Amino acid sequence: MSTDMWVGSWRPHKARGPIAAFYNSPGPKYALPGATGIQFHDPRKYKAPAFSFGTRHCSYSTDCSPGPGYLVQPNITRTGKDGTPIYSLYGRPKDLNLFRTPGPGRYSPEKSGKSAHYSAPAYSLSARSKGFRNDQTPGPAAYILPSVLGPRTVNKTSAPNFILTGRSTFGSFHEDLQKTPGPGTYRVIDPCAYKYKPPHYSMTGRNSMPGDTTRKPGPGAHSPERVTIASGKAPVYSFGIRHSEYMAPLIVDVLD
């Protein structure tokens, strides 16, 4: 009997991967937002102003205000402080010490010194200073007099000197003239570098005219009757299927 339940060689098995039909939208099960209240109000409907009552604030301290117990000074009126002159008594101030101008006997011109009179030069003898420990003055034997022989004399006139050098290979009788470069060694200079340069012409390939090679849609490729952006569009409704997407069609004719 178990073999007659299934048609053909197909048998139920576990899906190898996720199937998109398992993750469909909820359909018409969701509800439209309401038009009453403040929370989740329908944005397409008019929303009247709403007012709320807040809670009573707690007092931060018990003496926020002085109350009617503070003392008002008698010279304070409703327009401000009273303008009656007031006098007070202070102690007698001390006398100021006046500047005393110095008299002629205060000055001593004889003690002015070199700032007001010319004076002869004066010399003083001081003790000998202590020399540095590393101060070693060179003696007479430390110097060397310059030499008077040879071409490198300092304060004497030297006689002419002659030296003997090796034989030169350039310009001598045994110079190898085969190493001299021939006429073909030099590069010929373009006459346009030192003479009048005539006009030059060149032949290039034919240039194609600029253009656009992309394929353009023709008049039949457009469908203006399907455009709904510039004109109004009636609401469109669709009805989904009631049965499952996995239900197989009814097979009446079965081949034995």
Tell me the CB-side half-sphere exposure of residue 24, using CA atoms within 13 A. 11
**Contact of 33 with 41, CB cutoff 8 Å:** yes
Decide: helix, strand or coil at residue 181: coil
Residues near 254 by beta carbon (within 8 Å), at least 6 away in sequence: 7
Separation CA 217–CA 237 (nearest Å): 33
Give the residues of the chain that fall short of pLDDT 50. Answer: 1
Predicted pLDDT at 1 = 45
Residue type, 201: Y
- Cα 188 to the center of its chain, rounded Å: 58
Q: 40: Cβ–Cβ under 8 A, 6 or more apart, which residues? A: 33, 34
Residue 63 contacts residue 69 (beta carbons within 8 Å): no
pLDDT per residue as tens digits for the range 170-190: 777 667 776 777 777 788 888
Classify residue 180 by its DSSP letter.
S
Kindly report, residue by residue over 72-104, the tens digit of the pLDDT: 788 888 888 887 888 888 888 887 777 888 888
What pTM did the predictor assign?
A: 0.15
Q: Determine contact, residues 94/87, Cβ cutoff 8 Å.
A: no
Strand boundaries in 78-135, DSSP class E: 80-81
174 backbone φψ class: left, alpha, beta (φ>0; ψ -120 to 50): alpha
Give the pLDDT confidence score for residue 53 in this predicted structure: 78
Rounded Cα distance between 156 and 145, Å, is 12
